[in-house]
Structure 1
Amino acid sequence: MFHIKITSEQKQLMISRIQQFFLEERGEEIGELAAENAYQFFVKELGPFLYNQGIQDARIMAEQKLMGLDEDIRSLEKTLNTK
């Protein structure tokens, strides 16, 4: 199972938001147990997709930063007199 580190307060907030979503979007009141089951499903089944996208975004950003750093370092090189 995909493991995510969150505080109990964050988890409770997400469960409350799931309940709110069901009420607002579907007109259904669901209890905390049903909302927690939905939360567990989202974490297990959707979490890896979101996590991997975050990793990909971080990789792209790091590559861009490294390219900029490489350009900055190359700009410090002195021209050589080869005569």
Structure 2
Amino acid sequence: MSDIKFSPEEKQHLVDKLQTYFEDELQQELGQFDADFLLDFISEHMGNYYYNRGVQDAQLVLQEKVEAITDALYEIEKPTRFHR
């Protein structure tokens, strides 16, 4: 799997979110440079946990859909004298 890359616009949006959080919640000013490095740190050291949780959530959704399809297929089976 390759690294997750954000467009410059997406990265700037995330940096802006960090700066706003620091200002609103911590009453601390976080400069552009520091916010960029903080975002890189969070992405590198914590991003995989969020990514893996998203993969697990997607697997669960897929599993539920496959089970629903399997149930639907059993419902449309026609009776025969042979059983599986």
RMSD: 1.5
Segments ≥4 residues shifted beyond 4 Å? none
Residue 40 of structure 1 aligns with which residue? 40
State the number of aligned residues. Answer: 81
1:1-83 matched pairs, under 5 angstroms? 3-81=3-81
Amino acid at match of 2:58: A
Q: What are structure 1's unaligned runs of at least 5 residues?
A: none
% identity of equivalent residues: 27
Structure ranking higher on relative contact order (CA contacts 8 Å, 6+ apart): 1
Report the TM-score when normalising by structure 1.
Answer: 0.89
Q: What are structure 2's unaligned runs of at least 5 residues?
A: none
